[in-house]
């Protein structure tokens, strides 16, 4: 489907930044450094969850820990975006690493000072203090991911943005695979004490390496205005300045809402087909789809219109979600998870690539933070809603003769046909949303804005004041681009 610009819609886009000659090499080093930091943080966070459940057998405790993590990510994402925009990206990464390291060291100190029985007493203060400090360190580390997305704009040529974002997806996939396997092994074989020691050591290694790196960047401008810590107005203005961008974020949020169904029911369905030991291995192996999908994007990119690619991928994910549990065959489920996870990086990379192209560099942190806040909150909301609906309504219905007679022709017989019905319905909803998105005005406008963005011009630098914006503060009332501010 070709994009068509409507006559009354002005299209403007920021001038791309010309990366330094050694930009791709610097980005590769930052990417590897962030991969180590992400793996370490996820490793400790997963290990804490496993340790608490094994020692207390409290679903409530692990549920609160997991829910608090996602909630804090959503709450702090916009603050992180504002911090990224107001500071040099290397300084943000160092700050994030230092705070995470301090938090993990404090957590390790508490572990040494108090017996495990005190730290595992859910009615006492030390459990919540210990878990909260590790939670804080894990959440702060996510500031690096927002900064990493902006360094794609800063260090990589425009035509390589999609490929670089594919590598970012690969890093996330590696973190998921490694933590899925090694966190449990670490707790089972080494215990929480040595797990903390490993996490502290690896965080320190990443910080020392980060201090040896240099990212060329001018000092960001504050536009002569004092702003609150969470620059909500600035974030909204940056998003609304690019026509159709808010619709893209809302669509990604709806996509995550559907993804919440899989978050809530993927493990229960897998445990119906596999033993818990085998399921852990299956999940770890199928999660390599993240890595495969990211590497494919890194090699081939996302095409001329990443928005179109994203919508086609979402439709494909919907079709897959509707059929990969249509029978309770273990190989169908495992293969479906692999393919689904391989498609996820394409959706995330497409959104990042569009933001990097149509949003001025000085505002990208806030836009990434704004998007992360919406999207991080979406999946847990659906997970909390769909789990009780499935348990108390849909699964009993499918276990009844009426449900089997109505849906047996489609879903067959099995112990988890109620979950399969939820998967099928969620997949079809995703297909419908993807098709409808193609028909929207926002899709056409944003596609044209992306495709008509100007090419880099020699002399453009990563300076907040020297990057023209869209038809807002950087343009005059007639829509003409205002002169670039004088470089410092």
Token readout for 431 is 């297909």
Token readout for 151 is 């360094």
**What is the average pLDDT across 452-457?**
57
Q: Tell me how crowded residue 391 is: count the other CB atoms within 10 A of its CB.
A: 15
**What is the average pLDDT across 60-77?**
72
Q: What is the pLDDT of residue 272?
A: 78
Tell whether the model's pLDDT for residue 485 goes beyond 50: no
The answer to whether 141 and 210 are in contact (CB under 8 A) is no
Residues 57, 363: Cα–Cα separation, whole Å: 45
**What is the average pLDDT across 362-391?**
71
Tell whether the model's pLDDT for residue 168 goes beyond 60: yes
Residues 242, 441: Cα–Cα separation, whole Å: 13
**What is the average pLDDT across 354-380?**
73
Which residue has better confidence, 343 or 365? Answer: 343
Least confident of 130-144, 238-252, 452-466: 452-466
Tell whether the model's pLDDT for residue 362 goes beyond 80: no
Question: 343: which residues sit within 8 A by CB, 6+ positions away?
Answer: 289, 293, 313, 316, 317, 320
Mean pLDDT is highest, among 107-111, 343-347, 396-400, for 107-111
H or E element at residue 238: helix 232-241
The CATH code for residues 23-211+231-451 is 1.20.1250.20
Tell whether the model's pLDDT for residue 201 goes beyond 90: yes
Q: What is the pLDDT of residue 93?
A: 93
Q: What is the pLDDT of residue 339?
A: 92
Q: What is the pLDDT of residue 464?
A: 38
pLDDT band at 57 (very low <50, low <70, confident <90, very high): low
Which residue has better confidence, 163 or 108? Answer: 108
Q: What is the pLDDT of residue 469?
A: 37
Q: Which of 323, 316, 314, 325 is nearest to 266 (CA)?
A: 325
Tell whether the model's pLDDT for residue 98 goes beyond 90: yes
Which residue has better confidence, 61 or 79? Answer: 79
**What is the average pLDDT across 175-200?**
82
Q: What is the pLDDT of residue 482?
A: 35
pLDDT band at 100 (very low <50, low <70, confident <90, very high): very high
Residues 133, 127: Cα–Cα separation, whole Å: 10
**Which 8-state DSSP code applies to residue 160?**
G
Tell whether the model's pLDDT for residue 226 goes beyond 70: no
Tell whether the model's pLDDT for residue 209 goes beyond 90: yes
Residues 148, 150: Cα–Cα separation, whole Å: 5
Which residue has better confidence, 92 or 281? Answer: 92
Which residue has better confidence, 378 or 269? Answer: 269
**Which 8-state DSSP code applies to residue 475?**
B
Q: Tell me how crowded residue 475 is: count the other CB atoms within 10 A of its CB.
A: 17
Q: What is the pLDDT of residue 379?
A: 64
What DSSP assignment string belongs to 262-314?
Answer: HHHHHHHHHHHHS-HHHHHHHHHHHTHHHHHHHHHHHHH---S-HHHHHHHHH
Which residue has better confidence, 156 or 211? Answer: 211
Tell whether the model's pLDDT for residue 183 goes beyond 80: no
pLDDT tens, 383-405?
667 767 777 788 788 888 888 88
Q: What is the pLDDT of residue 307?
A: 84
Tell whether the model's pLDDT for residue 81 goes beyond 70: yes
Q: What is the pLDDT of residue 406?
A: 85
Which residue has better confidence, 378 or 93? Answer: 93
**What is the average pLDDT across 305-323?**
89
Q: What is the pLDDT of residue 264?
A: 67
pLDDT tens, 404-429?
888 888 887 776 788 888 888 888 98
Q: What is the pLDDT of residue 111?
A: 93
The answer to whether 112 and 160 are in contact (CB under 8 A) is no
pLDDT band at 476 (very low <50, low <70, confident <90, very high): very low
Q: What is the pLDDT of residue 401?
A: 82
**What is the average pLDDT across 308-320?**
90
pLDDT band at 150 (very low <50, low <70, confident <90, very high): confident
**What is the average pLDDT across 448-463?**
57
Tell whether the model's pLDDT for residue 217 goes beyond 90: no
Tell whether the model's pLDDT for residue 306 goes beyond 50: yes
Tell whether the model's pLDDT for residue 172 goes beyond 80: no
3-state helix, strand, coil in the chain (%, to 5): 75, 0, 25
**What is the average pLDDT across 190-205?**
93
Mean pLDDT is highest, among 67-81, 87-101, 245-259, for 87-101
Tell whether the model's pLDDT for residue 68 goes beyond 70: yes
When the pLDDT of each residue in the chain is averaged and rounded to a whole number, the result is 76
Tell whether the model's pLDDT for residue 107 goes beyond 80: yes
Q: Tell me how crowded residue 131 is: count the other CB atoms within 10 A of its CB.
A: 22
């Amino acid at each position: 489907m070709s994009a068509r610009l409507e006559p009354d819609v002005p299209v403007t886009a920021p001038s791309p930044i010309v990366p330094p000659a050694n930009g791709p090499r610097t980005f590769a080093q930052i990417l590897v450094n962030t991969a180590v930091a992400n793996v370490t943080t996820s490793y400790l966070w997963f290990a804490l969850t496993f340790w608490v459940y094994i020692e207390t057998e409290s679903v409530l405790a692990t549920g609160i820990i997991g829910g608090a993590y996602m909630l804090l990510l959503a709450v702090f994402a916009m603050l992180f975006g504002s911090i990224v925009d107001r500071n040099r990206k290397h300084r943000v990464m160092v700050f994030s690493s230092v705070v995470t390291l301090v938090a993990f060291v404090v957590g390790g100190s508490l572990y040494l000072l108090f017996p495990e029985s005190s730290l595992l007493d859910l009615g006492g203060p030390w459990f919540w203090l210990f878990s909260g400090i590790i939670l804080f360190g894990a959440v702060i580390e996510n500031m690096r991911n927002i900064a990493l997305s902006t360094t794609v704009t800063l260090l990589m040529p425009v035509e390589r943005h999609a490929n670089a974002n594919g590598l970012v997806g690969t890093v996330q996939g590696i973190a998921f695979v490694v933590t899925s396997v090694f966190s449990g092994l670490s707790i089972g074989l080494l215990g929480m004490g040595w797990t903390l020691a490993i996490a502290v050591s690896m965080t320190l290694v990443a910080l020392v390496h980060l201090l040896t790196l240099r990212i060329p960047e001018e000092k960001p401008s504050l536009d002569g205005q004092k702003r609150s810590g969470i620059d909500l107005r600035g974030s909204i203005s940056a998003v609304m300045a690019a026509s159709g961008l808010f619709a893209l974020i809302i669509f990604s949020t709806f996509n995550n809402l559907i993804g919440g169904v899989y978050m809530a029911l993927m493990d229960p369905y897998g445990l119906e087909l596999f033993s818990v030991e085998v399921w852990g291995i299956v999940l770890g192996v199928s999660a390599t789809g993240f890595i495969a999908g990211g590497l494919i994007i890194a090699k081939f990119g996302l095409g001329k219109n990443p928005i179109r690619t994203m919508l086609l991928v979402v439709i494909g994910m919907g079709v897959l979600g509707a059929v990969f549990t249509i029978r309770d065959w273990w190989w169908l489920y495992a293969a479906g998870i692999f393919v689904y996870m391989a498609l996820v990086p394409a959706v995330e990379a497409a959104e990042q690539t569009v933001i990097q192209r149509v949003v001025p560099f000085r505002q990208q942190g806030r836009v990434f933070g704004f998007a992360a806040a919406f999207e991080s909150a979406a999946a847990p909301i659906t997970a909390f809603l769909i789990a009780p609906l499935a348990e108390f309504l849909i699964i009993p219905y499918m276990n009844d003769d009426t449900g089997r007679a109505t849906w047996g022709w489609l879903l067959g017989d099995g112990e988890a046909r109620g979950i399969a019905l939820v998967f099928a319905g969620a997949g079809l909803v995703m297909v419908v949303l993807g098709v409808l998105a193609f028909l929207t005005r926002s899709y056409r406008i944003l596609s044209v804005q992306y495709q008509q963005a100007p090419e880099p011009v020699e002399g453009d630098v990563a300076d907040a004041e020297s990057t023209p914006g869209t038809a807002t503060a950087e343009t005059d009332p007639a829509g003409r681009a205002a002169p670039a501010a004088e470089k410092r």
